[in-house]
Structure 1
Amino acid sequence: MCLRPDAPGAWAVDAELVTQPIPDALGARWRAEGGPDAGDHEHGDADPDAFWRAWTRAEVAAKLTGTPILAWVTTRGFGAEASGMRVWHRRIGDVLVCIGVRDGGVPTE
């Protein structure tokens, strides 16, 4: 993981195993927000790929702004972005990687 929120063209990375269980509290928040593919609200089903995609995006936004992730999702939710943020997702096997940049920084492939 990399965190450089004070650098011009700041960038951040988050990665998660998409095969890991979605934590109960986070899954409940995801469903309460009506996240895409949030699944059956009564039975706790959720699409892991959609959840981890939203989670890694939120983690990157939080890192780019220097905000603790739980404060980010509590105050802004999973769908919010940092000002000027662009993100890319890449899946490598069971690992979903999210790279985010702001202020015009662009990661190379």
Structure 2
Amino acid sequence: MSVLLAAAPRHLRVASAAESGDAVTRSHLGDGRCVGWYAPPVPGWQVAIDAERTDEPVPPALARRFGSTDFWARWTRTECLAKLADVPVATWWQRHGLEVPPDSSWLWRTLTLPDLVVTVAFAARPHLP
């Protein structure tokens, strides 16, 4: 998985929602674009992606609650991990803030693109009996 994360920039594409429908997963931006993940699926793993525009100001209420330092990187990581845990992000905030629990097994990478912060995260799928 670390090899795939190291190559993450090659597997990301920014396009319109209509043009990114074939992505494995994608994140919608407020300006109408989507960031899609185009790597082949990895058996036994699920993937999540989240992206935010770097020129967006941090909402004041969130800055007061979580601080504004490196906010969008922490935010996108939190969004991904909440998706992988299948919990609403507000529930995640109540439990963990914008932090990663110390006993977590998720793998992630956060990238800064010209006008975006993007996190890609993976979790092993639970084995079914």
**TM-score in terms of structure 1 length:** 0.68
1: CA distance between counterparts of 2:65 and 2:100? Answer: 14
Which position in structure 2 is the counterpart of 1:71? 91
Return the structure number with greater relative CO, CA threshold 8 A, min gap 6. Answer: 1
Ranges in structure 2 where 5+ consecutive residues have no aligned partner: 1-25, 28-42
Question: 1:90, CA displacement in angstroms?
Answer: 1.5
What's the CA shift string for 1:26-67, capped at 9, x where partnerless?
111113xxxxxxxxxxxxxx33xx111111111011000111
2: CA distance between counterparts of 1:97 and 1:15? Answer: 4
Going by fraction, where is strand more abundant, 1 or 2? 2
> 1:10 aligns to what SS in structure 2?
strand
1:85 to 2:106 alignment:
yes
- Give RMSD over aligned pairs: 2.1
Q: Is 1:86–1:100's contact at 8 Å kept on the other side of the alignment? A: yes
1:12 to 2:48 alignment:
yes
Q: Is 1:83–1:102's contact at 8 Å kept on the other side of the alignment? A: no
Question: 1:68, CA displacement in angstroms?
Answer: 0.7
Which position in structure 2 is the counterpart of 1:54? 74
Q: Is 1:17–1:96's contact at 8 Å kept on the other side of the alignment? A: yes
Q: Number of matched residues? A: 84
2: CA distance between counterparts of 1:72 and 1:93? Answer: 28
* Aligned sequence identity (%): 29
**TM-score in terms of structure 2 length:** 0.58
